[in-house]
Amino acid sequence: MPKLIITENPEKWKINAEGASIISPSDYFGNSAYLESKNYMIVNLCRSHQYQSLGYYVSLLAEARSHKVIPEISVLQDFRFPSFIKDDAEEFDTLIQDTLKGESSSKVSINIYFGQVDNVSYSKLGILLFNLFQVPIIQAIFSKKDKWQLQSLKPLHLKNLDETGFKKLQEALHFYVTGKKVVRKKYSRKKYDLAILVNPDDPNPPSSPQALQKFIAAADKLGFNTEMITKNDFGKLVQFDALFIRETTNVNHHTYRFAKKAEAEGLVVFDDPGSILRCTNKVYLHELLVANKIAVPKSHIIRKDHQIIPDTFKYPMVIKQPDGSFSKGVKKVADDAELHATLKDMFQKSELLIVQEFMPTTYDWRVGVINKQPLYVCRYFMAQNHWQIINWKKDNQHRDGKSETVAVEDAPWALIDLALKATSLIGDGLYGVDIKEVNGKFYVIEINDNPSIDAGIEDRVLKNGLYTKIMETFVERLEK
C-alpha cells in the first residue's frame, strides 16, 4: 500500500521515511491519482487539525476517498471536547498511578510519537494513549494533587519539536510506516500480513499455544507473515491485511473494538463484529432461533421487573446470563430457594435472563462451521461429577470433560443440517454450534462466534488440515 506523509512545506522538514512520499495538502487535494485509487495510507502531519483547517480537510478527504488515515476525523472531534478525554482517562487510572508513582514533581509532560516515548518507564502509558487517541504526535500533561490526573492532551506539530524530539519522531514514523518490515525482519516478505489477537492471561483461551503455532505454520505456507498481537496493539491494525481473534469475545470488550476497527479498515476478520454482536448475547440468539423455527430446548425470557416463570417449567431448570461463555453465567437450580438466590445475583448484571429446561445428556455435540460449510464435529462429555462440560472451581480453576472428534461424513446428517441452518442466520464466519441430542432429536443450545480450536481435540480428524482450511478461507476472501 503506497504511503503519503502530508505536511505544509515538505521540503522544509526533510522527513525521511522509507517507502513513503512526502507531499503538501495542495498536492493531495489536486492530484487526480490520489482520488482514483483507494489504496493509500495517509499520515497527516499538518500544522493544525482544527475544524475546517488544512489538516482537518486532509483527514476528511482521506476518509471520503476510503484512504487509511491517521488521525481520523472522529479522533479530531474527540479533541474538541477535553472533558470526554478526561472521562476516558478514568478508565486507566491504575496505570497512570503506577507509571507516575516515582515522580518527585507535581507535573509531568510526556510527548508521544506514534505510541513511542523518550522515557521507557512511560512506554505502557504512551502506547495506551496512542491506541485511544491516534494522533501522530500527542502531548500528555499530568498533574498531582491527591493523586495523578490527566490535565490535558493535545496534538503537536513538527514546529513544536526540538532537535531531540524531531529525531524521535523520525524513528517512530519509520517504524509506523514500515512497521511490518521492522517487526518481521527475520522473515522473508510474504504476500499478506495476518494479526492474531490473543490474551496471554486468559485462563481458558479458545486456542492453546500449540494450536496457535499450527495456525502460524499454516498461514506461513499460504503466504502470510503472521504476528501475535494483544489489546495494547490497537494502533497497529492498519499494518495488516487480516485479523484472527483468538481470545474470548464480547461486545462490551476490546475484542469487539478490534473487530469493528479491522472491518472498517478493510481487513478480513474472524470474528467479524456482526457475528460477535449476534452470538455473544443469548437473548438475541434465543429470539433469532425461535423466530426461524430452529429447534431449541424449551426456554423463556424473564425480566427483572416481571420475574414470572411459566408453570410448564419444572425443577431442575437452567438460568442463563445473556453474555456468559465457556459454561460461565449458567446455573442449574433445584428448588425455589436456589432459584430466588440465583435470580437475585444474576439480575444485578442484566435486565433480562433466560430460563431453560434442563436436558441431561452425557455429552454435547459441537459442529464447527466456516464459510457455511461443516469443518469438524466433536462430542464434549460432561466434566466428572458435573452437569456441564466445564466445571469451574475457585480462583478461575476448571476441569474439562473428555472429548471425541468425529469425521464430518460420519456424523448424523440431521446434526450437520441443523448446525448449518442455525449458523446461516448469523453469517459466513467461523462458528461452533453446541447441540444436544435427546431421543434421536437435536436441539441448538448456542452458537459460538469464537469456538475452541485446540491441538489434539478439534484437529484430531483433519490434523493440520483444519488449520489450513481456516487460513485458506482468509486467502480466498483477501483475493476477492
Looking at residue 190, its pLDDT comes to: 63
Residue 131 has pLDDT above 80, yes or no: no
At a CB cut-off of 8 Å and minimum separation 6, what does 477 contact?
Answer: 268
234-273: per-residue pLDDT in tens?
Answer: 888 888 899 999 999 988 888 999 999 999 888 999 999 9
The angle formed by the CA atoms of residues 178, 209 and 192, to the nearest 5 degrees, is 30
Mean pLDDT, the chain, as a whole number?
A: 85
91-110: per-residue pLDDT in tens?
Answer: 678 888 888 988 888 999 99
CA dihedral 266, 270, 275, 279 (to 10 degrees): -160
Looking at residue 270, its pLDDT comes to: 94
DSSP 65-76: TT-EEES-HHHH
The three-state secondary structure class of 211 is: helix
- Is residue 186 very low, low, confident or very high in pLDDT (cuts 50, 70, 90)? very low
- In angstroms, rounded to a whole number, what is the distance separating the alpha carbons of residues 448 and 375? 14
- In angstroms, rounded to a whole number, what is the distance separating the alpha carbons of residues 386 and 402? 12
The angle formed by the CA atoms of residues 225, 226 and 228, to the nearest 5 degrees, is 155
Q: Where are the alpha helices (DSSP H) in 398-438?
A: 413-424
72-93: per-residue pLDDT in tens?
Answer: 887 777 676 666 566 666 667 8
326-348: per-residue pLDDT in tens?
Answer: 456 788 888 889 888 988 888 88
How long a stretch of residues is the chain?
480
8 A C-beta contact, residue 111 and residue 134:
no
Residue 40 has pLDDT above 70, yes or no: yes
Q: Which amino acid, residue 45?
A: L
- In angstroms, rounded to a whole number, what is the distance separating the alpha carbons of residues 315 and 322? 21
Query: Of 221, 268, 223, 222, which is closest to residue 245 (Cα–Cα)?
Result: 268
- Is residue 182 very low, low, confident or very high in pLDDT (cuts 50, 70, 90)? very low
The angle formed by the CA atoms of residues 10, 39 and 191, to the nearest 5 degrees, is 115
5-19: per-residue pLDDT in tens?
Answer: 999 888 887 787 777
Tell how strand 390-392 and strand 107-113 pair up.
unpaired
- Is residue 181 very low, low, confident or very high in pLDDT (cuts 50, 70, 90)? very low
- Is residue 383 very low, low, confident or very high in pLDDT (cuts 50, 70, 90)? low
Q: Which amino acid, residue 137?
A: I
Per DSSP, 459 falls in state T
Could you tell me which residues are beta bridge partners of residue 44? 6
193-250: per-residue pLDDT in tens?
Answer: 999 999 888 878 899 888 999 999 899 889 898 889 998 888 888 888 999 999 999 8
- In angstroms, rounded to a whole number, what is the distance separating the alpha carbons of residues 249 and 323? 10
Looking at residue 139, its pLDDT comes to: 92
181 or 252, greater pLDDT: 252
- In angstroms, rounded to a whole number, what is the distance separating the alpha carbons of residues 127 and 161? 20
Task: Give me the mean pLDDT over the 398-418 stretch.
Answer: 88
Looking at residue 143, its pLDDT comes to: 92
- In angstroms, rounded to a whole number, what is the distance separating the alpha carbons of residues 418 and 326? 22
CB atoms within 10 A of CB 453: 24
| Lowest-confidence region among 266-270, 301-305, 438-442 | 301-305
Q: For the whole model, what pTM was predicted?
A: 0.61
- Is residue 390 very low, low, confident or very high in pLDDT (cuts 50, 70, 90)? low
Task: Give me the mean pLDDT over the 132-138 stretch.
Answer: 86
C-alpha grid cell, residue 47: 500544522
| Lowest-confidence region among 47-51, 360-364, 436-440 | 47-51
Per DSSP, 306 falls in state B
